[in-house]
Amino acid sequence: MVISPVRVKICCIRSTEEAHLALSFGAVALGLVSEMPAGPGELPEASIREITAAVPPSTGTFLLTAVTDVERLVEKVEACGVNTLQLWDPLDPHDYARLRAALPGVSIVQAIHVLGRSAVDVAVAAARQADALVLDSSNPEVPFRWESQAGQTHDWAISQEIVETVDCPVLLAGGLDASNVEFAVRTVRPYGVDVCTGVRSEDSLDRRKVVSFFEAVRKIAG
């Protein structure tokens, strides 16, 4: 079966140089991290604004945050100049409508933490509110919430079920790298993939890992 070209989002972008490197190899979206409980790549709002101003408007610029206060989220999006808000934690249902009213033209993406089959029901509910989902491997509960969980995979069979069930684009994240992305995509059939630590070395985007990752992704549709 032929698989459609897979979109690639590279997360944890830390500078305009990293942003341009990611885009030069074919990334269509960048993840910019702000106010998260743990993990790599957190940036001040001014630095995020500098990056978003330096990339083409067609680039997906995702602000990833664990903030749940609607007023603060609106302030952050406006300060950072992003076109997509990626929520790590779910909001109250009425807060999604408040965000859409306050941020016209900004896409809302909800992270789904795939810790078991209960994630399917969570994803179905979130798909009614969000424009897209990101399936990751993090455990948002205390004490795990405050520990870095980067680079961990999850049960891709559950992610496959989510993709087959919801009616919105789904990005697969969590522990992806050049060695496993082909199998992951062939299993899950996501709209796109989201990678962070799999293309980094010593807290910097690694050109060789980026090249290897995109080579693996491009083989999928071949």
Q: What is the CATH number of the domain that holds 171?
A: 3.20.20.70
Distance, in Å, from the CA atom of 96 to the CA atom of 194, rounded to the nearest integer, reads 23
Please name which of 37, 83, 74, 80 lies closest in space to residue 56, comparing C-alpha atoms: 83
**Is 62 among the domain residues?**
yes
172 falls within a domain = yes
pLDDT grade, residue 95 (50/70/90)?
very high
Question: How many other CB atoms are found less than 10 A from the CB of residue 81?
Answer: 16
Residue 98 lies in a domain: yes
Mean pLDDT within 53-72: 96
**Whole-number pLDDT of residue 146:** 42
The answer to whether position 2 is within a domain reads no
Q: Could you read off the pLDDT of 154-188 as tens digits, one per residue?
A: 899 999 999 999 999 999 999 999 999 999 999 99
Query: What's the start-to-end Cα distance of the chain, in Å?
Result: 11
* Structural domains of the chain, count: 1
State which residues form the domain around 102: 7-220
Residues 6 or more apart whose Cβ sits within 8 Å of residue 52: 32, 61, 80, 81, 82
pLDDT-based confidence at residue 151 (cuts at 50, 70, 90): low
**Confidence at residue 137, expressed as pLDDT on a 0 to 100 scale:** 85
CB 183, CB 217: distance < 8 Å: no
Per-residue pLDDT tens over the stretch 181-195: 999 999 999 999 999
Q: Is residue 1 part of a domain?
A: no
Residue 81 DSSP symbol: T
pLDDT higher than threshold 60 for residue 145: no
Token readout for 32 is: 């910019």
pLDDT of residue 140: 57
* Residue 24: Cβ-neighbour burial (10 angstroms; 0-12, 13-18, 19+): exposed
Query: For residue 89, is it within any domain?
Result: yes
Q: How many residues make up the chain in this entry? A: 222
pLDDT of residue 141: 62
